[in-house]
Each structure stands twice: as C-alpha cells, then as structure tokens.
Structure 1
Amino acid sequence: MKGQFLLFTILVTFTGIYLGFLRIIVPYAQESLESTLIFIPLIIFGFVKGSFNFIAGRFSDVLGRKRILMYGWIVAIFSDLLLFLSKTFIILLIVMSLLAINQAFTWTTTVTSQIDIGGKRKAGLSTGINEMSGYIGVALGSALASIMYGLTSLFLLFISALALMMTFSAIETRHLIRSREDPPIKEAINLPILGLSIAGLTEKFVDAAYFLLIPFYLISKGYTLFFVGEVVSIYALVWAISQPLFGYVADLSEKRVLFLLVGFVIMGVGIPFLLINPILISIFEGIGMGLVYPNLIAGVNDRVHEKLRGTALGVYRLLRDSGYGVAGIVFIIMDKFSFDLYSIAIIELVTIVLILFITKA
C-alpha cells in the first residue's frame, strides 16, 4: 500500500502543477481587460469546480475512485488542446471550465483514496501529505509558468498524458473500506459538515486573491511576471510544506478546532498588509492556510461514516470551492466601491465565530 500511497501523491502533484501554470497564465493573458472582467474566469472556475466536486465525490463512492480520476485527466487533455489553439477570452473561459472539472475529479479522488489507505485515524496526516504534494505542484507550476510561458500548452499536454498513463497503475481504494454498514446518504449532509464546508468557502477568499486579484494588481503596478510567480510560489510552497505537520499534530492532539481558529486569525490579520510586503506576508498567509486546509477536510472525515467518505468530502468541496466563485463576485463589488483587502480580513475573522458555533453542534 505504501507504493500506492506514493502513486497518488505523485498524481496530485501533477494536478497541482497543472493548476499552478494556469494561475499565472490566465491573469497574464488578461492584463489588458477591464478590471471587472478579469474575475469572470475565477467565478466560472469556482462554481464549476464546486459542482463537479460533489459529482466526483458521490460517484467515487458508487463507481470507484480510479474511474473518476481517469476521467479527470482525459478532460485535461481536451483543455490543453484548446489552449494550444488560442488564448482568446472565450477560449480562456472554456479552459477554466475544463480545468475546474479536471481539478474536481483528480484532486477529490486522490485525497479520498489516500484517506482510504491511511485510515480514519490518520485522516489529518493523509490529507496533509496530499495537499502538501498538490500545492508543491502549484508552487512549481507557478514558477515554471513565469519562465516558459510560450511552451505552456505543450508542457501541460505532456503532464496530462503522463498522469493518465500512471492512473492505469492505481488500485481501486474503495474496496479497502471493510464496514458492512450501509448508512443513509443524509448522514453526509449534517450541520457540522455544512458548517465546516462554509468555513472552507470563506477560506477560499484568501486563495482566490492569490489566484487573480494579487497577480493582476502586481502586474498592473509594473512588477515582472517572474516576481508575481515568486510571490504566488512562496505562498503555495509554505502552505504545502506546513500541512502534513499541522494535520499530523492535530490528529495526535485531538485539538483540531484550535488549529482552525489560529489559522483563520493569521489569515485575517495578515491579508490587509500583503501589498506592503508581498513576500513576507505570503509566508504568513501560507502558514495560516497550512493550519486550516488539512484540518477542515479531516474534520469532515471525523464526522462521517467511512462508506460515505467520498460523498461527504464532495459536499465539503462543493461549498469550499464555490468560494472561488463567491469571492470573484465579492471582488467585483470591492472594485466597484473601492473596497480593499480589509474586506477579506473581516470575512476570515467572522469565520471564527462560525467555527465556534459548529463545534457546539
């Protein structure tokens, strides 16, 4: 099983590289657009990914994790071919939709598979390793995109084809769940899980800022594409590396809620000052995300039967990644009324109240 766990780790790294490339390429390709239009791809990405997260989670419980994972990389190949043909605004919207489906199918199934292998008691560690690997991929993809912009389509096509071939070697981990119980699907949609899912949605406001708002702002201020890639990469790398540690310690200490509260405080306090020192604050934001990210997923896993793991994580990821879409709409409002990053800080700090409430449920 160690070999299979490693295989899923490599596959989610490819998923991250794919996302990292497009997190740099899309803002750069749109720099001449009106400020409100640049958020449209983010809104599409968020709502499409959120919806397909639920589809991926539910059908991974019914059809199996491996099949959904393969579908995700087939979708990626179509996306790469479109990007090779053109980088017009309409094509970018289609590519973002396909990217969202790819991310939903591949990331949902790899994290679910690794929790299947690691077991329920090590959910934080398994999730931390999965997310660390994926966001190391994001950091690597962001860095590479700033260097090899002209070769984007060919490189992504190579990554997609390689990942698809490697998926054939993966086992179906759904069969590792030995319970004979058949719990009703409503158990995957309870108040604590919905509360954690909404907390995940608000956490995405910070990541959405790094997805488009901050890169676009830095580019518009004359910063080089290399510097923008460096800022996004540092944030993603710190986030990635810290996750296994915070997930594992939370597993041992059984104080997952404390990790969530501290993480949201760090993100809320730090984000308003990001434009003063992008590198330094990106390190703090990465630490905050590292505290929150694996423990929200593990918190959902703590509250659901193993046979409904895929469905429950699909519900969580449906709301969490819809946060990209909600954030995009909020960013348009912020732009129209000249709000700043303090608005995001308020949202993150209000989430603390939500977490305190749901932990009493």
Structure 2
Amino acid sequence: MLLVAVNALVGGTLGQERTVLPLLADQVFHLDLYTSALTYIVAFGLAKAGTNYFAGTLSDRYGRKPVLISGWLIAIPVPLLLIFGPSWGWIVAANVVLGISQGLTWSTTVMMKMDLVGPERRGLAMGFNEAAGYLGVAGTALATGYIAANYGLRPGPFLLGAAFIALGLGLSVLFVRETHHHAKVEAANHVSVHAQAGSTLSNRQVFTLTSFRDRSLSSVSQAGLVNNLNDGLAWGLFPILFAAAGLSIERIGILAAVYPAVWGAGQLITGGLSDRIGRKWLIVGGMIVQAVALGMVAFGHSFGVWLAAAVLLGAGTAMVYPTLLAAIGDVAHPEWRARAVGIYRLWRDGGFAVGALLSGLLADAFGIPWAVAVVAALTAASGLIVAVRMRGSDHHHRPPLPVKLSVA
C-alpha cells in the first residue's frame, strides 16, 4: 500500500500538466501549428520510453529502491522550469526531464509490486498500481484546472507538482524497502530449465522476444503502443478542441479529469478480473471500446457527448492497462521479467511520441476531428491484432514457457 501511495504521487506529478500545458501553448506562447504545440508530448514520450528500457536493466543490477529515489531526484527541477520558462523550448526541456523521472519512478513501482505478489494476484496488483497513478493524474488535472481558472496558468498549478515531488521523495527515501530479493526467490523456485534459460538470455534476446518473436509479448507491446498513442492525442488535442468549441477552462478541466479518473478507478476492478477470466479478451474488448469513444469525440459537438466519450475512453483504457502489464509478467521469466517490463514500457510510452506527431500532423492538415477519427481506426485495428495473434486466455495461469517453446 505504501508503493500504491508513492505511485499516486508519481501520477500527480504528471497530472500537473494535463489541463494546463495545451492552454499554455495556445494562450501564452501563441503556437499556431498543432505539431509545434505537441512537441512537449513528443519530448516526454521519447524520454520516458527510453528510460523505461534502462530502468529494468538498472533495477536488476542495482536494486529497485535506488532507481526509484533517482527518479524523484531528477523530477525536482520540473515545476521550476514550467513556472519560469520564458520560451516554449524551456517547456519542452521540462518534459524531457519529467519523462526521465517518470520512466524511473513508475517503472520501478510496477516491478516492485510484481516482486511482492505471486502470479495468481499479479493482475490485481497491477490494477492497484495503475489505478493509484491515474487517479493521481485525474485528481491533479481537475485541481490544476480549478487553480488555473482562478489564479492563472502560472505559477499556481505547478506548485502542486512541487509538493508531490517533495512528498514522494521523502516517502521513498524513508519508508520504501528493497524488493529485488523477492524476484530472486521466485526465480529460484522455477523449474531448472526455466531458470537456466532465464539467466543466460542477453538484453538483445529479451528485446527481440518481447518486441517481435513471442506471439503474446509482441501482441501486448503493440497494443500498449497504440493505447498510449491515443492517450497522447487526448492529452495534447482534446483541450484545444474543447476550447475551440467554447467550453470554459473549468469544463475543460472536468473533461481532462474524467477520462483518467474512470481509467484509474476502473483498474481496481479490471486488474483482478483479468486474474479470473484471462487477459486476452479483456484487452481486445478494451481496445474496441476506446475506438468507439474516440469516434464519439471526433463527431460530437457538445459537452454531454464529450463527457460520455471521456467515460467510455477511461473504461476501455482501464480494461487494457493493468491487463497488458500482467500479461508481460505471466510470460516473462522472473530472471528477465524486469527487462521485459522495461521493453514493453519502451514501446508503450513511445506511443506518446508517435501519437503526438501523427495527430499533430493530421490536425494541421485536416483538422482535429479527422485526426481523432484516424486514431480511432488504428485503435480498433490494434485490438484485432491481439484477437488474432495473442495466445489464449488460459495462458495466464501457466508457468513461463521454456524459451525455445516461447520463441516458436
């Protein structure tokens, strides 16, 4: 539960930007092109994705706790850059730093919970972790919308982020304990062929297995990428779309908060549900629900329709988010699970950058509604890939496959 609380603070650190930064780009820095305005999401996505990869390797080598503390220390300058940045380049730089911090902190809380729970409750643990993080995002998006409406876009909203960083660092240094030894015990209890295969896998072998060669791991990786592709779109363009339709900052803040709030709270149910009914069809269904919600945003014109779409988008994302992480944990051997999680999160958070670039270019060329419609189609296609390629739902209760079988 301490790690759940820490991840809520990690989410809150990210949430300080959700409502305010798109409006800052538009109203303070007067960026005309959507592609330019979304550079901060590209910077965040690339920095976080790359750091996710290294977080797995570093936490295996040095332990989970040092990596977690490093992530909080790196976050310290972010609110200062956002408050005092005189040009858009400073805001982009802040998001590079934030991406590195989030890659270290969020990845580590995921790994630590996987260390602490057995395979039968992995989905439940991921549900708690991701719920805490995204409820943190949602609560902070709502709070910063209120602060921005009453006290201006700077500095008020970002003082909240500074408080979260201080609290998260304090909790991590003083109270969080190392968990790496739990993963080592779990690995030792595996059948010897698994342990031998796990210990001799190079980083390159783990990368190719997770990204391409294993049907389940690669299906999960592409679904994660597309999921965060549409989240990058929602983060960067939805507030601009809603503002152009004449909605107030308070209402934009509500819409920016409802989506991650439903996403966050829903994971308390869907994480444990995936332990009972299997991962595959929960992922497929969630991607289709997200596609429907994005279609409603694209073709809707009122607060009511957009509110319903935000609820649906959150519900669809809740179905897939903890389930994807748990599915990685099901297949990956404990000896290389942290690396597999890091590689999955590399692909997943790379979706932020792809989504921001793709949706920005499409929005500049055809308008925001068309950009949203194209991403809706991509999300549906991703769900179909999982339906065709991922191994069946009974797979999550089996021990990890020997690597030779897994590659086949």
TM-score normalised to structure 1 length:
0.94
Report Cα offsets for 1:246-288 as digits up to 9, x if no partner. Answer: 11111022x2101011111111122111243111111111110
Do the aligned partners of 1:188 and 1:308 also contact (CA within 8 Å) in 2? Answer: no
Pairwise CA distance, 1:84:
3.3
Counterparts of 2:208 and 2:109, CA distance in 1 = 21
| Residues 1:209 and 2:233 are matched in the alignment | yes
Counterparts of 1:233 and 1:154, CA distance in 2 = 18
Report Cα offsets for 1:271-329 as digits up to 9, x if no partner. Answer: 11124311111111111001011111111111101121211110000000000111112
Q: Which piece of structure 1 moves more, 33-42 or 144-153?
A: 144-153
Indicate the residue corresponding to 1:11 in structure 2.
6
Do the aligned partners of 2:46 and 2:349 also contact (CA within 8 Å) in 1? Answer: yes
Residues 5-154 of structure 1 mapped to structure 2, 5 A cutoff: 6-31=1-26, 32-34=30-32, 35-86=34-85, 88-149=87-148, 150-154=155-159
Do the aligned partners of 1:69 and 1:109 also contact (CA within 8 Å) in 2? Answer: yes
Do the aligned partners of 1:13 and 1:135 also contact (CA within 8 Å) in 2? Answer: yes
Do the aligned partners of 2:130 and 2:264 also contact (CA within 8 Å) in 1? Answer: yes
Do the aligned partners of 1:123 and 1:301 also contact (CA within 8 Å) in 2? Answer: yes
Letter in 2 for 1:199: A
TM-score normalised to structure 2 length:
0.84
Counterparts of 1:258 and 1:287, CA distance in 2 = 15
Indicate the residue corresponding to 1:294 in structure 2.
322
User: May I ask how many residue pairs the two structures share in their alignment?
Assistant: 355
Counterparts of 1:154 and 1:106, CA distance in 2 = 20
Pairwise CA distance, 1:205:
2.4
Letter in 2 for 1:94: A
- The change in CA–CA distance for 1:188 and 1:37 in structure 2 (over 3 A counts) is closer
Pairwise CA distance, 1:203:
1.0
SS in 2 for 1:10: helix
Higher Rg of the two aligned structures: 2
Indicate the residue corresponding to 2:389 in structure 1.
358
Give the aligned CA root-mean-square deviation in angstroms: 1.6
Indicate the residue corresponding to 1:164 in structure 2.
169
Q: Which piece of structure 1 moves more, 218-227 or 131-140?
A: 218-227
Pairwise CA distance, 1:233:
0.8
Indicate the residue corresponding to 2:402 in structure 1.
none
Indicate the residue corresponding to 1:3 in structure 2.
none
Stretches of structure 2 that go unaligned for 5 or more consecutive residues are 149-154, 189-194, 392-407
Residue in structure 1 matching 2:379, options 322, 335, 348: 348
SS in 1 for 2:246: coil
Residue in structure 2 matching 1:319, options 347, 365, 378: 347
Pairwise CA distance, 1:353:
2.7
- Which consecutive segments of 4 or more residues in structure 1 shift more than 3 A? none
Pairwise CA distance, 1:343:
0.4
SS in 1 for 2:130: helix
Letter in 2 for 1:223: L
Q: Which piece of structure 1 moves more, 112-121 or 79-88?
A: 79-88
Letter in 2 for 1:334: L
Stretches of structure 1 that go unaligned for 5 or more consecutive residues are 1-5
User: Equivalent pairs: percent with the same residue?
Assistant: 26
Counterparts of 1:313 and 1:12, CA distance in 2 = 16
